[in-house]
Structure 1
Amino acid sequence: MADPTFEEIAAALYAGPPDAFVSSRKARADSVDDRELATRIRALRKPSVAAWVVNVFAQERAVPLGEALQLAAELREAQDDLDAPALAKLGRERRALTRRLADMAAELAGSRGERITPATRDAVEGSISAAFFAPAAASAVASGRLVRAIEASASNDDIRDAVAGEIPELEPAPQRPPDELQARRLRRDAERQLASAEKEHKAAERELATHDAALQELQTRATELAANVAELEAQLAKTRAEAERVGEELPQAKERRTEAAREADAAAGAVTRAQKALDKL
């Protein structure tokens, strides 16, 4: 097995407990036979707490950090082709991702018993943010050998000074064929058209649902009114039949009443005559 390189030794020391850095550095230097390597190890500067947090995160969470940095590289290439609203959206998403990564790094460091102050957490976020803007900063953060935090405005010289050992170059993004930019534009336009069509479709479905509800309400009301009409028509037919029957019986009732009136008059005359006869006695 090959002996560890200076960069590998530095990465191991920079991810170890901050309080034990000096003693660990001495012990590691004393353990190597190469005098030049031992001298370089002893010359390693103790990392700041923020740098240590980034180093631990870079080594313990290399996969999510690597994916984020690769995405950042692709976004840097694509942003020249974006309009103002898209750039603003990209900026918001980049800041949100930076905050999430910084929170993950702070939680990881906290799980190791280190107290992370707000200032330290901001410095961690600043270093990750710098990695999103410059390839050299991305390489520095991914190395896991930061000595101090870096800023987005840091020059290449500042970045080199902030890293122990050589800064590895990130694997370059694959060269895209000349027509891929046009393909990306066409895809983005198609995605926008799809989003617009989906939005209009949802609006049309909401409008249709509104009309369906109104139609259902009218149909229910029409059914109720038809039932009322049928009931009223039945009642009207019954009333007409009753009126016809009464109309047919009315002449007979009038005749009977007239006959009864004659009989009543005759009876009254008889009473009057009988009274007069009685009065004469």
Structure 2
Amino acid sequence: MRGHLPDPEAEGCVGRGGLTGAPLSGLTPGMSDFDTIVDELYSGAPADFVSTRDARAKGAADAQTAASIRALRKPTTAAWVVNVFARERAAQLQEALRLAAELRDAQADLDAAALAQLGRERRALTARLAADAAELARARGGRVTDATREAVQQTLSAAFFDPGAAAAVASGRLVTELDVGDGESLDPSTVVAGAPPEAPELAPAPADEVAAMRERRRAQHALQEAERALATAQRDHTAAERDAREAARRTEQIAARIAELESQLTAARTAADEARAVQAAAEERRQATEKALADRREAVAAARQPGATG
């Protein structure tokens, strides 16, 4: 998590190392009127920042306060838009940050699909907040481009992901816009003017709302489990249907083969019966011819006997 620190050569911008290499909060003196001046500067019109800052420095009660005031840097336009929103829509911002904290806690219980849906809802919410902030800034005479509005949304998104960024945004003293970094928590003192901001005191949700939210989480978790079980059952059913269709097809093939073999067997039996009939007839003819042959032989033998007549 980090802020987009502007060009150190520009008027009122913070260098890559912060103010003279130190966190912005390191310049804060322990004086009650200093915070009032900081609030005035970072919620006022950007065009008046430098002149107001110099005037307050000249009117400071002592040199330390004057030096601390002069060290304050002009916020980027996106940071100013966020500051105006944080001050004039504090209740709306607090509710959004409380919701963000709830969402961070809920993420551990969500699966990939639910996390993706949560991400879409988060982007939609920060887009609406950024649009509201831009409209509020325009009503105060500010010029808010599309790029500035996108930077505001990115800053609000950072506050949704990181408590340190949330504290910086809620302070109303942001010097530069923020972005979602690599998971490291932001040190608010590096991007906020004046005293290091404390974590915003988010009003706890009413007991019935908390109970309802927890019940929704349990219901969502139960729904996810049921959907996973349904998906598994559907896969098993699909596989069983596929196996049943394959078994039916195989059964039909085997039945067809059996019918074919039975037909062949019937034909073979018929052929065997016919062959046996032919064999019986042939045997009968053989026996008849054999008897006729024997008779002829006897006749010939008798004719050859002495005294036989010709």
- Give the TM interval when normalised to the shorter protein: 0.5 to 0.7
Contact 1:15 1:56 in 2 (8 A): yes
Question: What does residue range 208-223 of structure 1 map to in structure 2 within 5 Å?
Answer: none
Q: Distance in 1 between matches of 2:175 and 2:69?
A: 13
For residue 303 of structure 2, what is the aligned residue in structure 1? none
The alignment's C-alpha RMSD in Å is 2.8
Residue 83 to residue 8, structure 1, CA distance change in 2 (3 Å): farther
2:178 counterpart SS class: coil
Contact 2:34 2:65 in 1 (8 A): yes
Q: Which runs of 4+ in 1 moved over 4 A?
A: 154-159, 190-193
Equivalent residues, number: 186
Question: What does residue range 71-220 of structure 1 map to in structure 2 within 5 Å?
Answer: 71-153=99-181, 156=185, 159-165=188-194, 166-171=196-201, 184=214, 188-189=218-219
Deviates more, 1:106-115 or 1:157-166: 157-166
Q: CA deviation at 1:7?
A: 3.3
For residue 248 of structure 2, what is the aligned residue in structure 1? none
TM-score calculated relative to the size of structure 1: 0.59
Q: 2:64 is aligned with what amino acid?
A: E
Residue 15 to residue 187, structure 1, CA distance change in 2 (3 Å): closer
Q: Distance in 1 between matches of 2:70 and 2:105?
A: 40
Q: 1:65 is aligned with what amino acid?
A: L
Q: CA deviation at 1:157?
A: 5.8
Q: 2:198 is aligned with what amino acid?
A: P
For residue 276 of structure 1, what is the aligned residue in structure 2? none
Residue 88 to residue 37, structure 1, CA distance change in 2 (3 Å): same
Unpaired runs of at least 5, structure 1? 175-179, 197-281
Contact 1:7 1:164 in 2 (8 A): no
Aligned-pair identity (%):
56
Structure with greater helix percent: 1
TM-score calculated relative to the size of structure 2: 0.54
Q: CA deviation at 1:82?
A: 1.6
2:179 counterpart SS class: coil
Measured against aligned partners, the alpha-carbon deviations of 1:83-119 in whole angstroms (never above 9, x if no partner) come to 2222222111111110000000000011112111111
Say whether residues 1:10 and 2:38 are aligned partners. Answer: yes
Q: CA deviation at 1:188?
A: 2.5
